[in-house]
Structure formats: structure tokens, C-alpha cells
Structure 1
Amino acid sequence: MNKAPFIAVEGPIGAGKTTLASMLSQELGFPMINEIVEDNPYLDKFYDNIEEWSFQLEMFFLCHRYKQLEDTDRDYFKKGQPVLSDYHIYKNVIFAERTLHGQQLEKYKQIYHLLTDDLPKPNIIIYIKASLPTLLHRIEKRGRPFERKIEKKYLEQLITDYDTAIRELQQRDPDLTVLTIDGDHEDFVMSKTDFERIARQVKELIK
């Protein structure tokens, strides 16, 4: 790999992105960009009324992630240092296309491209694929009150949206490497063997 590794762990809500990213950050000794979810003041309102609060929610996430990546570019990428993140900036588009419509969506995409087109993009994505029962189980287990309001239909659609988005990212960037993890059968939290297997695969990719 020519550039310093920029690894993003991705997957639908409840896939275990932050957990796996934290474990890999410790294993590899890479600094981690940690997505801030619960600090978004619009989350509760959003799950109560998606149509009313979706634009505010998505703009808050976009601006926050933009600032994180701008800081990371200055502090790490420009110095050639590797970084691990528990999200890819493109996730903003995945969620916006599900919650925004018409002019709002067009305006959002224009702002997204203005902010992110010149930001560094991950050269490795660890994609955690997981079925609806697995996502629901993990969401219930971590006990975030606002996530209990998420409809099953919304989660099912996100699973499909993520599959499509990962394919599109690969098609656009021939240098992007995607490592897909079976989140239904690989329990990287409870099984040391599963985690070590994933860590070995990642280490091979960044050699």
C-alpha cells in the first residue's frame, strides 16, 4: 500500500462498528476517529418524527464529521500517519437518501460534496454485514433509548442501502480495498479466535 492506511469500519446501525474499530485500534496501535452519535440534539426528535427533523439531523452529523476529518487530515494524514475510524463519510449520503427528499436532498448533496470532495477518503473499508435479527439483538443489548424507536422496516432498508453503497464505493475507487465480515457468525467481541482472524486479515492488507 502506497499511502498510510486509512481504515474505516462500516455497517448498519447495531453492526458493532465502534466496538470492532476500538479493538483494532488497540491491536494495531492506530489513533481512532470515533463517531459521536448521542451528542446529536436532534436524535430523539428524529425518531419521533423523521420527516420533520431529518434535515437538521443529517446536517448536524455532516458538519461534525467534516470537522473531525479536517482535524484528522491536519494532525495525521498530512504527516503520513495511519488512522482508523468507525465510519466512512459516505454514510451521510446513505442516510440522507433514506430520510430526505426533493429539494432538501439536492441541497444536502450539494453541501456534502462542497465539504467532503477534497477530504481524505479511506483506502480500506471493513464492512460488517449483519441480518436484521443480529442488528435488533445488538441494539437491544446496548440499550440506547432513542434506538428502541427505530422501525424494523427502516433497518431492513439500511441493510440493502449499505450493500449498494459499498459496491458503488468500490466501483468509483479501484484502489479501495473492502474486507467483508459476517456479523451473524463472526463474534469478534465474545470469540478471541474470531477477532484474531479479523486482525490477521487487516494486518495482511496493510503490509
Structure 2
Amino acid sequence: MTHAPFIAVEGPIGAGKTTLATMLSTEFQLPIIKEIVEENPFLDKFYRNMDDWSFQLEMFFLCNRYKQLEDTVMQYIDKGKPVISDYHIYKNLIFSERTLKGTKRDKYRQIYHVLTDDLPKPNVILYIRADLDTLLKRIDKRGRSFEDAMDTAYLQQLIEDYDEAMTSLAIREPSTPIITIDGNKVDFVENKDQFAVIALQVKEHMQ
């Protein structure tokens, strides 16, 4: 059971999750949990050959996120301290359901549930939606070399997978509000008023 506000920011690759989570962390003086991305040694291989490297990639992410959230429980949530993260552990299923097949996907699902079923879940989710053009511009702007080989069809499918996943989460966890942000229209970095609206929505769930 979550004893303190646990805020998660989610969205497809390039949506601005880490940026928004960092801004909210500063705004409310909250500790922030950032997922490990560039440290994953399989990313470059994965974007060049998804079939060969997907299981290694997904297992690396799952184990690292599990460890991060386990530490988060001990350091913050169990002590009644609010925390924000730039991901929801559920994202592991969003990605793995697309990248894994057959017995590898079955094995991954089993491991996922063993590791995560007793972890605390966020009590508010910020979901940044954005179309392909917006995501591609943001991905290009941040200049990660391993993302150069990313298949745009994969990214478009991921956008659709996220929409379905958020709908599923809303049904499975109706007590957890999902605040949807239109990433095509809302620029929380350059527009202070738009960021203030988001911050106010988050504050309402921190009472």
C-alpha cells in the first residue's frame, strides 16, 4: 500500500517524461527517480536488430527498474515521503508485448509479475500524448546516437500501444487518476502558464 504521494510521468519515447518529472521535482522539492536508459548496453544493438536483442534489452530494463522501485519503497514511500518518477513499472509490459514473441514473451511475463506484483503503484499518473512528428522532433533534438536507427513504424506502433495501455490501466486501477497532457499543443518547457496548470493538477493529488 502506498503511504505517500507517488507520482509517475509516462509517455512514448521522446514525449518529455524526464523533463516534466524533473520540473515537477524542482517545483515541489520532491526526490526524483529517473529510469536508466543510456546505460543499457543493448539499446544500440536492439534498434539495429530487434529480434535478436529484445529479450536482453527488456530484462535489463526490468531488473534495473525493479531495483530502483524497491529502493524507493525503503527510502521514501514507507517513510511517508512523496516521490516522483519518470516512468511507471507497467511500461515494461507495454514494450515487451510489442518486442517479444512466443516463449520469450511468456517467460518475461512470468518474471515481470514475480518482481513487480508487490511493488507500490503510483497514485497519480501524468500521461504525455504526442503524435509521431512531435516525438521525432524531440528525439532528434536530444541527439542520442543509438536512437538514429529507430524504425519510425516501431515508434508509431508504440504511440498506439501507450494509448491502449493507459485505457487498460484506467480500467484496472480506477482509483488512480491519469492526467493526460497533449504533447502536441502543450509546451511545458517554454510556456510557464502551461506548466503551472500541470503543477496545479499534481498539487491537488498531493493533499
TM over 0.5: yes
Equivalent residue for 2:116? Answer: 116
The CA distance in 1 between the partners of 2:8 and 2:91, in whole Å, is: 11
Identical-pair percentage: 65
Equivalent residue for 1:27? Answer: 27
Equivalent residue for 2:148? Answer: 148
Aligned pairs for 1:20-169 (under 5 A) are 20-169=20-169
CA contact (8 A) 2:3 2:77 kept: no
Moved over 6 A (4+): none
SS of the aligned residue for 1:41 comes to coil
SS of the aligned residue for 1:119 comes to coil
The CA distance in 2 between the partners of 1:72 and 1:136, in whole Å, is: 32
Query: Gaps (5+ residues) in structure 2?
Result: none
1:182 to 2:182 alignment:
yes
Number of aligned pairs? 206
SS of the aligned residue for 1:149 comes to coil
Deviation at 1:36, TM superposition (A): 1.0
The CA distance in 2 between the partners of 1:199 and 1:77, in whole Å, is: 21
Deviation at 1:196, TM superposition (A): 1.1
The CA distance in 2 between the partners of 1:148 and 1:201, in whole Å, is: 35
Deviation at 1:172, TM superposition (A): 0.8
Which amino acid counterpart does residue 105 of structure 1 have in structure 2?
R
CA contact (8 A) 2:3 2:78 kept: no
Which amino acid counterpart does residue 52 of structure 1 have in structure 2?
D
Deviations 1:137-159 (A, max 9, x none): 00000000111111111111001
Deviations 1:25-64 (A, max 9, x none): 0001111101110000001111111000000000000000
CA contact (8 A) 2:10 2:125 kept: yes
Equivalent residue for 2:10? Answer: 10
SS of the aligned residue for 1:9 comes to strand
Which amino acid counterpart does residue 154 of structure 1 have in structure 2?
Y
The CA distance in 2 between the partners of 1:57 and 1:200, in whole Å, is: 36
Which amino acid counterpart does residue 171 of structure 1 have in structure 2?
I
SS of the aligned residue for 2:148 comes to helix
Q: CA RMSD in A?
A: 0.9
Query: Gaps (5+ residues) in structure 1?
Result: none
Deviation at 1:3, TM superposition (A): 3.9
Deviations 1:93-146 (A, max 9, x none): 000011000100000000000000000011100000001000000000000011
Deviations 1:62-100 (A, max 9, x none): 000000000011111111111100000000000001100
Which amino acid counterpart does residue 131 of structure 1 have in structure 2?
D
